[in-house]
Structure 1
Amino acid sequence: MSGIAHQLQRHGAGDVSDDAAVLGAYSSDASLYRVPPVAVAFPRSADEVAALLAGARAEGLTVAARGAGTSVAGNAIGPGVVVDFSRHLDRVLSVDADAETAVVQPGVVQAVLQRAAAPYGLRFGPDPSTSTRCTIGGMIGNDACGARSLAFGRTSHNVRGMRALLADGSVLTTGYDADGTPTASAEGSDVLDRLRSVVAGDLATARTEFGTFGRHVSGIALEHLVPERGFDLTRTLVGSEGTLAVLTEATVRLVRAPKAAVMVVLGFPDFPTAGFATPDVLAFEPSACEGLDRRIVDVIRERRGDAAVPALPAGDAWMFVELSGPDPDDVRRRAELLAGAGLGVSALVVDDPATADRLWRIRADGAGLAGRAPSGRPAWAGWEDAAVPPDRLGTYLTSFEELLAAHELSAMPFGHFGEGCLHVRMDFPFERPDGADRFRAFLEDAADLVTSLGGSLSGEHGDGRARSDLLPRMYSPAALSLMAAVKDVFDPTRMLNPGILVEPASSSADLRYSGSTRLSKGLALAYTADGGDFGQAVHRCTGVGKCRADNSGSGGVMCPSYQATREEIHSTRGRARLLQEIVNGASTTTWSSPEVHEALDLCLSCKGCASDCPTGTDMASYKAEVLHQTYKRRLRPRSHYSVGWLPRWAKLGSAMPGFANRSMDLAPLRKVALKAAGVDTRRRMPAFARRTFRRTFGGSVGTGTPVVLFVDSFTNHFAPRVAEAAVEVLRAAGYDPRITRQQECCGLPWISTGQLDGAARRLSGMVSALAGDARAGVPIVGLEPSCTAVLRHELRELVSGPDAAAVAEATTTLAELLSRTPGWTPPSLDGVRIVAQPHCHHHAVMGWRTDRALLERAGATVEAVPGCCGMAGNFGVEQGHYEVSLAVAEANLLPAVRASADDGARVVLADGFSCRTQLDELAPDAQPLHLAELLAARLTQR
């Protein structure tokens, strides 16, 4: 800790950090901008916030409030102290069902508030697409909306009162009395009198230039301070982006959740035509009206497969319309009328709630999924939030497409059509020398287009660094002066969120990507999807922050270390920010910088982010590259030579398994050996099998369709029963399994410890052994999910050429092979309740849908446990990881196993060797099985 954090703590600021890793993680949000802070504070109370402000005043520091950091406009970063409210001030303090309100701290996640309100039949109305991680404080700062603002309004319509601190430390309280009259008080301050005087000096401007239509969010909402609106300071503070006061508590309005909702999907020939139809759709009084087109749908199908997109009606653009209300019959009638109104080329009423949820998820993940433009180049925010009156949306979309063509850009548009708000991701050429200038030129032209249509530069995200300096193109000099005067009243020293709204920073300065350099030489991995550029790969992370959400409800994995620690540097996004510093030309961060390794240390290499993150950020691969580059031709940590070379030691141990197992049963010897190996002494090493599978396998029987069984090191040396069961199942299905004697280890332990040269050598040898069968069309069946994933993914990143590609294409899981076998039927699992822990790499690379379908087809009831088991290969055994490993296991796996312990029909299924090892240690009664073992045991019961 350096002087700044220490000085702030002397003032009573509490938890403050100026650690290099923390500063790097908080240097950006979900925007294009990079502004490293000098410290980050994590207050536990309003008193600590007050102490922090006092310290900042004394030290001459600025303050930027931050929620989840999901701002795409650069609202939540700053050069002074960033205040993260999400770590400690994150509670729902009370819910009043009679008053239909809740009192919350600013760091509470929107989805957490929803869960607290749900038992009362209530909900918080605004629902941004980031609702699983965005905070109420952040929503108040931006005046966030979401898809259902047609029904519930903006956040400013849903806040009933605030407690906040002014820059001078005064406590500001706002709210409404019993008859709805706005109230406000400021202890020991004349700020309210001065504010009334400033607004009274130019009422005409406040009345005419602010709040002109439903999504007019740009600037400060001064229209609420005019006398006829009762000097409504609550509404004015919402959307002021932390520039006027620092929120410490809010009372929010809750609403009754509608009893019925039906989705209608309308198809149109193109995006502008859908825009022109919007006013007619609004006549049906929808609660949501969202637009997207084929560009984003095609990206989703490419990224996640055709099955990820439910059937859509004909067209190249679509409107997702939700109709809701208290009467299911009336809602259904309105839906049928809308579908039959002939507003597009096609229409579909979506009756199935699960299908509707999948469609809405496409829209919710739009910002992340649009991370690659149709051109194949990275796509960025920056001009992503403009809004126009809905009756001018078609004109805006038509002109916007022309503007894109004039600037030689391609885009992925989507948005809240019912409110005239368009979100866009565009392929700004930041990698070019003139990239920032071209970006600026586009912003100016786009701003002129929006203002010519009576629109707002921001429709819900706020102006931030992206748009504040464009406000002169939207507002008159009188309006700009009025906003500056209001800022003077609240924050005359410009301490709060400087560079935003008033005296703005340049929108083309501090661009995160434009300062990056290409890093493609000397890399171990190919980064084929990123043009061979490590910099482009790590900049896949745009900061949408889904890694901070609890994704378990949707069966996700990402990000187990963040869920265990709740620290930004241990999220996928936080780590990506540190890695982006490596390629930032203004940074001194390198591969071996301590802050980089601090951030990566608790990464489990689960690869959950590779599939769960909408942008496809693959932190496991990046961690392997960093370790490779750092320790190339250098002494490595001890665990890299022990668990990183496990297949080598396994061969030695298997030569005398009895002696090896007895030795590890001797506590003193075991502790010494594990400590020397860099392994936590609380772990037990798995026992070697008496005989390896390779020694006992009898070979081909000469009948049946040939398949090659990929015998990984874990199965061969520790769990040969899995391979034996697989042989039995495959033969029963009409296959003739055989093994290739020359097959090498897939190199997984070398990959996870960053020994990528060694991994590449082993994979090259493996390709030589398997390529002939692969080219002949013989399936290669993997049993260990992590090794199977290596053959399907990392193989092509480490070994080039058609043989490697052939092996990757030929590799299949047992469930995939059996499910496509003509005439095969699974043995009956009727009455069996399966609690399954899908391996993280299985989830990320192959997907677990086929396994679930096979088990359900066999008659089993399947509960797939979300998240990671916590062992994650070598991670869970390495020194310094034990507590996090256990915390991850306790998040989902162990509670699911305990909850089903008394069910006599329960079977715990875990194909991953590390998952079974974790369960054997932490839940010894679980007795987990591999899929092959489960099926083989049932063959005799046919």
Structure 2
Amino acid sequence: MITADQLAAELRRAGVGQVDTTTRRRAEYSTDASLYRVVPTAVVHPRDADEVAAAIAVCRATGVPFTARGAGTSIAGNAVGPGVVADLRRHLHKIIEIDPDARTARVQPGVVLDTLQAAARPHGLRFGPDPSSHNRCTIGGMVGNNACGTHAMAWGRTADNVRELDAVTGRGERIRATKGTEHHGLPEIVAANLATIRTELGRFSRQVSGYALDHLLPENGADLAKALVGTEGTCAVAVEATLNLVPLPRATALVVLGYPDMAQAADAVPGLLALKPIAIEGLDHRIVDVVRRRKGAVPPLPPGRGWLFVEVTGDDPDQARRAAETIGGTVITDAAQAATLWRIREDGAGLSGTSPAGRPAHAGWEDAAVPPHRLGAYLREFDALLDEHGLTGMPYGHFGDGCVHVRIDFPLDADTRTFETFVTRAARLVAAHGGSMSGEHGDGRARGALLPLMYSERVIAAFEAVKDVFDPDDVLNPGVIVRPRPFTKDLRRPAARDGDFSTAVHRCTGVGKCTADTGGVMCPSYLATRDEKDSTRGRARVLQEMVNGTLVTGGWRAPEVEESLDLCLACKGCASDCPTGVDVATWKAEVLHRRYRRRLRPRTHYSLGWLPRWARLAAIAPAAANRLAGTWIAKRVAGIDPRRPLPRFTRRARVRPSAGTGDPVVLWTDTFTEYFAPEVAAAAVRVLEAAGFAVLTPSQRVCCGLTFTSTGQFGAARRRLRRGLAALEKAVSQAGPGGVAVVGLEPSCVASLRDDARTVLGPDDPVLEVVGRVRTLAELLTARGFEPGRTDRHLLAQPHCHHHAVLGWDADRALLERTGATVTRVPGCCGLAGNFGMDHYDVSVAVAETHLLPAVAGAPDADLLADGFSCRTQLDHLTGRRARHLAELLADLL
């Protein structure tokens, strides 16, 4: 059997330029968004179609499986394999041509759907299918599993919109497939199975399971391109696709209908179909409850425990609104509210990652479909089946097409018997309703073995014959659809080791939102490098393998873990932006804690991790400290990149308590404000006094321990937290009875108290009680009803990542808008992120270049606003422009 090194040598000899057989890379690609784990022998990143063909040729010659992968968001295990996994997104992402007259687009397989939509939009066109993963899924992946999405009922599935495919078969042939293309052996298979194909295949729109041989029927034009769509890379790998585009609707409107439960919502679907909407989506109340628990925005919804989102079109907004009003329910007229509701629906896979019973929920039975008129009856029987097995799930999905998504809390940590029994019975239930095991995501490893419950032996034999025509040696994605692996094999079951940490890292289901630029924060290092290693998902995979211990064997000190976490900025963007709620910053702190406990640490852990200590000493003689810190040798000793200028120490800011009367408030000046930006504290006092507060200060320094926590120095962090929180509690009690608030000025420090403190001290520590009083300046002033001064300036605001992820920036936005200013919020991370940008200079700058620097360059006359000290420092260094804190802006407007 060929070894990994031999395989890599053969691939490189054949001209495949980027081949990786490292343990870390194989861990990153060992699973997709499914419940399945298969460790590849090698990962390749083909740079062109010839390299794809070369890699397949090597696999044919060596007998090694080849699996194509797009965004890796496949939920059925379609994108994992034991041999070569080819990531087609990394380099094959060119839009070759858009022809607005012919309404077509020619694209490479790695093109992300939203990128194609953006290119087609100026021509008034779009690609019809739009799965929920539209901001990261690739056209190649959509072709592989015949992706559908919200608007498939209006514009069809991917198969309905593919005109031509340039592909490499398992025989190594380069073929151009389109309507009327004859391929050796196929006409004979179709002719021998005409009646079977006509009666068993193509019965309703969401019949995605198996091969769509109905496209090869003579009455359907013998369309080979459409027939290859949905074969999941088991017959051929597309290296280019010509797609049909459809006109954008002139106007749309959304109406939300409420029902007592999801089954009754499904009962209403057939009647709504007669109104010709372009989308009917179902959403369970428990998914909405998850958003609310995470303090996410949820627009007003009509009463109910299940809702239908119905979208209609019109020639103009008024006509679309009138069409929506004829349906009834709640018409969503605000575009931002409609976008928020669609986003909740799109994030359903992640939001339902924890079941109503509080257990991890899995994608083992994820997207079955039945004809829409059978949907209500199917859901009732499905709920009864769940109850019978003691399982729970939150159904949602494309109800207009009869497709139901659900994640179920199978007890996989115990055994697979419940999983096997339930899935088998669920498959029989779907078949009894004339449905399809898969309605959108393909069969993969999850459903291939169940196809005999849905299709006759003649259909299964026809699938095998077609597979043999294109891939007789079973090189392409073996074990999928034809001659499938048992669906209980290759399961990615959480390991029992390390308890809570194992549960946490397995919370990542791989939906891949971290690989998309969604306008939030997650994941800044991935957006800078475009390397799976630096995605939230990639890091989770490596940590899952560390806990598993079979692939990554070095435990907490494994080099793979160090490499994976190295470029994590600890921005906490994933904690809010990831729909499954993972928090890599907390994981990284835990890993660093365990890796270096009672051991020598990296230099930056002593220099930057001990910043509060050094700042206090530097305040004695700040001029001398600044001269020393600015030298090359000092930076070298401290582990700081010599290109990075350091912020300047000042004497400690001393805030005097207010002399006048007013409602008491405790002002907490953190280390950054106290020793680097005393002007911010002075401005805050002016604003608070203008708002009618009497400003009090703690009698002792208050440190949140952030720099110690982020570097995994938990012992030191605990000591500082306890002292700091005790000082705040004392200040609050001395202020008198009642609800005295504590105002923090540095978002990262406020977030550290609200979030990290519970991790470091434990959630039930009584010293945490005062944390409930801590507010940002904007939160306090907004609650006060404070009216700021007026300005007509353009404000370009860079919220700190922790402000976005932990605290929320809505209060700041509302306060700024009341000034009359034009407010533009910059998405993403500044790239400095505390100590990260001090020793990862190049990546820090690359992160800033994704959003911040272009925004600043595009607004030369705007006033820059940044509450985060890191953000202000980065802006000053990279743009030469000074940003102000909110307190400074409001003080200037008094």
TM over 0.5: yes
Indicate the residue corresponding to 1:179 in structure 2. Answer: none
Contact 2:666 2:697 (C-alpha < 8 Å) held by counterparts: yes
Of 887-896 and 415-424, more deviation after overlay is shown by 887-896
Contact 2:43 2:87 (C-alpha < 8 Å) held by counterparts: yes
Indicate the residue corresponding to 1:523 in structure 2. Answer: none
What is the CA–CA distance in structure 1 between the aligned matches of 2:642 and 2:485, rounded to whole Å? 53
Q: 1:326 Cα shift?
A: 3.5
Pairing 1:180-195 to 2, within 5 Å after superposition:
182-184=179-181, 192-195=183-186
Indicate the residue corresponding to 1:576 in structure 2. Answer: 540
Unaligned stretches of 5+ residues in structure 1 = 176-181, 186-191, 340-346, 521-532
Give me the TM-score of the superposition, normalised by structure 2. 0.97
What is the CA–CA distance in structure 1 between the aligned matches of 2:771 and 2:518, rounded to whole Å? 29
What is the CA–CA distance in structure 2 between the aligned matches of 1:896 and 1:330, rounded to whole Å? 37
Indicate the residue corresponding to 2:54 in structure 1. Answer: 51
Q: 2:648 aligned with 1:687, yes or no?
A: yes
What is the CA–CA distance in structure 1 between the aligned matches of 2:27 and 2:320, rounded to whole Å? 50
Structure 2 counterpart of 1:315, one-letter code: G
Indicate the residue corresponding to 2:854 in structure 1. Answer: 895
Q: 2:561 aligned with 1:596, yes or no?
A: yes
Contact 2:524 2:847 (C-alpha < 8 Å) held by counterparts: yes
Name which of 797, 813, 817 aligns with 2:776: 813
Q: Once superposed, what is the RMSD of the aligned Cα atoms?
A: 1.5
Unaligned stretches of 5+ residues in structure 2 = none
Name which of 216, 228, 248 aligns with 1:225: 216
Indicate the residue corresponding to 1:272 in structure 2. Answer: 263
Structure 2 counterpart of 1:250, one-letter code: A
Structure 2 counterpart of 1:875, one-letter code: F
What is the CA–CA distance in structure 1 between the aligned matches of 2:767 and 2:36, rounded to whole Å? 40
Name which of 366, 373, 377 aligns with 2:359: 377
Indicate the residue corresponding to 1:164 in structure 2. Answer: 167
Of 199-208 and 468-477, more deviation after overlay is shown by 199-208
Q: 1:330 Cα shift?
A: 4.6
Q: 2:892 aligned with 1:931, yes or no?
A: no
SS at match of 2:238: strand
Indicate the residue corresponding to 1:846 in structure 2. Answer: 807
Of 475-484 and 83-92, more deviation after overlay is shown by 475-484
Contact 1:793 1:808 (C-alpha < 8 Å) held by counterparts: no
Q: 1:336 Cα shift?
A: 2.5
Of 655-664 and 453-462, more deviation after overlay is shown by 655-664
Of 473-482 and 3-12, more deviation after overlay is shown by 3-12
Contact 2:552 2:560 (C-alpha < 8 Å) held by counterparts: no
Q: Cα 1:773–1:450, aligned 2, differ >3 Å: closer, same or farther?
A: farther
Q: 1:332 Cα shift?
A: 3.7
Q: 2:55 aligned with 1:93, yes or no?
A: no
SS at match of 1:321: strand
What is the CA–CA distance in structure 1 between the aligned matches of 2:429 and 2:374, rounded to whole Å? 12
What is the CA–CA distance in structure 2 between the aligned matches of 1:39 and 1:587, rounded to whole Å? 14
SS at match of 1:583: helix
What is the CA–CA distance in structure 2 between the aligned matches of 1:146 and 1:864, rounded to whole Å? 30
Name which of 498, 522, 534 aligns with 2:501: 534
Indicate the residue corresponding to 1:705 in structure 2. Answer: 663
Contact 2:698 2:731 (C-alpha < 8 Å) held by counterparts: no
SS at match of 2:607: helix
SS at match of 1:291: strand
Q: How many residues align?
A: 885
Structure 2 counterpart of 1:913, one-letter code: F
Indicate the residue corresponding to 2:420 in structure 1. Answer: 440
Q: 1:384 Cα shift?
A: 1.0
Q: 2:152 aligned with 1:149, yes or no?
A: yes
Deviations 1:659-716 (A, max 9, x none): 1223345xxxx11111111110101111111x2113xx33352622222222211111
Q: 1:202 Cα shift?
A: 2.4
Pairing 1:293-304 to 2, within 5 Å after superposition:
293-304=284-295
Contact 1:796 1:804 (C-alpha < 8 Å) held by counterparts: no
Pairing 1:609-648 to 2, within 5 Å after superposition:
609-648=574-613
Name which of 181, 187, 203 aligns with 2:194: 203
Name which of 282, 285, 303 aligns with 2:273: 282
Contact 2:447 2:487 (C-alpha < 8 Å) held by counterparts: yes
Indicate the residue corresponding to 1:424 in structure 2. Answer: 406
SS at match of 1:162: strand
What is the CA–CA distance in structure 2 between the aligned matches of 1:894 and 1:107, rounded to whole Å? 27
Indicate the residue corresponding to 1:558 in structure 2. Answer: 522
SS at match of 2:680: helix
SS at match of 1:850: helix
What is the CA–CA distance in structure 2 between the aligned matches of 1:199 and 1:804, rounded to whole Å? 74
Contact 2:60 2:473 (C-alpha < 8 Å) held by counterparts: no
Q: 2:830 aligned with 1:869, yes or no?
A: yes
SS at match of 2:367: coil
What is the CA–CA distance in structure 1 between the aligned matches of 2:159 and 2:92, rounded to whole Å? 21
Indicate the residue corresponding to 1:487 in structure 2. Answer: 467
SS at match of 2:556: coil
Deviations 1:97-140 (A, max 9, x none): 00000000000000000011011000000000100000000001
Contact 1:374 1:412 (C-alpha < 8 Å) held by counterparts: yes
What is the CA–CA distance in structure 2 between the aligned matches of 1:802 and 1:701, rounded to whole Å? 35
Pairing 1:267-416 to 2, within 5 Å after superposition:
267-305=258-296, 308-326=297-315, 328=317, 330-339=319-328, 347-416=329-398
Deviations 1:260-318 (A, max 9, x none): 2111111111111111111001010110000112111111111234xx11111122211
Contact 1:86 1:107 (C-alpha < 8 Å) held by counterparts: yes
Q: 1:760 Cα shift?
A: 1.6
Q: 1:256 Cα shift?
A: 0.3
SS at match of 1:249: strand
SS at match of 1:551: coil
Q: 1:852 Cα shift?
A: 0.6
Pairing 1:902-941 to 2, within 5 Å after superposition:
903=861, 906-924=862-880, 926-939=881-894
Contact 1:795 1:804 (C-alpha < 8 Å) held by counterparts: no
Contact 1:290 1:418 (C-alpha < 8 Å) held by counterparts: yes
Give me the TM-score of the superposition, normalised by structure 1. 0.92
Contact 1:437 1:508 (C-alpha < 8 Å) held by counterparts: no
What is the CA–CA distance in structure 1 between the aligned matches of 2:510 and 2:774, rounded to whole Å? 34
Pairing 1:759-908 to 2, within 5 Å after superposition:
759-773=717-731, 777-800=739-762, 801-822=764-785, 824-828=786-790, 830-878=791-839, 881-901=840-860, 903=861, 906-908=862-864
Contact 1:272 1:398 (C-alpha < 8 Å) held by counterparts: yes
Contact 1:130 1:546 (C-alpha < 8 Å) held by counterparts: yes
Q: 2:464 aligned with 1:497, yes or no?
A: no
What is the CA–CA distance in structure 2 between the aligned matches of 1:330 and 1:833, rounded to whole Å? 35
Name which of 519, 530, 534 aligns with 2:498: 519
Contact 2:666 2:732 (C-alpha < 8 Å) held by counterparts: no
Structure 2 counterpart of 1:909, one-letter code: L
What is the CA–CA distance in structure 2 between the aligned matches of 1:326 and 1:932, rounded to whole Å? 47
Contact 2:35 2:77 (C-alpha < 8 Å) held by counterparts: yes
Contact 1:4 1:18 (C-alpha < 8 Å) held by counterparts: no
Structure 1 counterpart of 2:754, one-letter code: R
Name which of 55, 63, 67 aligns with 1:64: 67
Q: 1:198 Cα shift?
A: 2.5
What is the CA–CA distance in structure 2 between the aligned matches of 1:664 and 1:439, rounded to whole Å? 60
Indicate the residue corresponding to 1:526 in structure 2. Answer: none
Deviations 1:228-278 (A, max 9, x none): 323211111000000000110000000000102111111111111111111
What is the CA–CA distance in structure 2 between the aligned matches of 1:660 and 1:24, rounded to whole Å? 45
Q: 1:197 Cα shift?
A: 2.0
What is the CA–CA distance in structure 1 between the aligned matches of 2:13 and 2:393, rounded to whole Å? 50
Deviations 1:799-844 (A, max 9, x none): 134533312211110110111115x32122x212110100000000
Name which of 214, 219, 235 aligns with 2:226: 235
Contact 1:834 1:907 (C-alpha < 8 Å) held by counterparts: yes
Indicate the residue corresponding to 1:746 in structure 2. Answer: 704
Indicate the residue corresponding to 1:343 in structure 2. Answer: none
Indicate the residue corresponding to 1:524 in structure 2. Answer: none
Indicate the residue corresponding to 1:449 in structure 2. Answer: 429
Structure 2 counterpart of 1:90, one-letter code: H
Q: 1:167 Cα shift?
A: 1.7
Of 350-359 and 559-568, more deviation after overlay is shown by 350-359
Deviations 1:183-219 (A, max 9, x none): 326xxxxxx2222222322222222211111110000
Once the two structures are aligned, what percentage of the paired residues are identical?
A: 57
What is the CA–CA distance in structure 1 between the aligned matches of 2:501 and 2:33, rounded to whole Å? 20
What is the CA–CA distance in structure 2 between the aligned matches of 1:773 and 1:448, rounded to whole Å? 66
